Amino acid sequence: DSGVTQTPKHLITATGQRVTLRCSPRSGDLSVYWYQQSLDQGLQFLIQYYNGEERAKGNILERFSAQQFPDLHSELNLSSLELGDSALYFCASSGTSGSEQYFGPGTRLTVT
């Protein structure tokens, strides 16, 4: 158990809909990272937050957005969903060094 929690575990929704994925980092970790894992793209970095502020952005679509709240939990919002958005979405957290990133169990999103 990494100490990172994610909800929900599974999500099935229709094209065009909007969903919110939630992540709670390990106790004391200020950085939260979001990654997408799919068969064709592998594990891809989406976005990083540090203590409530956006720190880095990767291959994140404009339809996707994220935020980190004062209690350090983070949410990833996916809108206007397409079939190709079906994937595993992982959240990871790290301490101030940013070196060791610990991953949560993921949310499996299926868009039908």
Which residue is associated with the tokens 């994220």?
A: 66
What are the backbone angles phi and psi of residue 83, rounded to the nearest 5°? -55, -35
| 104 interacts with another protein by CB under 8 A | yes
Q: CA–CA separation, 84 vs 94, rounded Å?
A: 29
| 65 interacts with another protein by CB under 8 A | no
Contact 35, 89 (CB under 8 A): yes
Of the candidate residues 27, 70, 71, 99, the single one contacting another protein (CB under 8 A): 99
Contact region for another protein (CB under 8 A) — 20-28, 29-37, 68-76, 79-87? 29-37
**Which residue ranges make up the site for another protein (CB under 8 A)?**
2, 4, 31, 33, 35, 42-45, 48, 50, 55-56, 58, 90, 94, 98-106
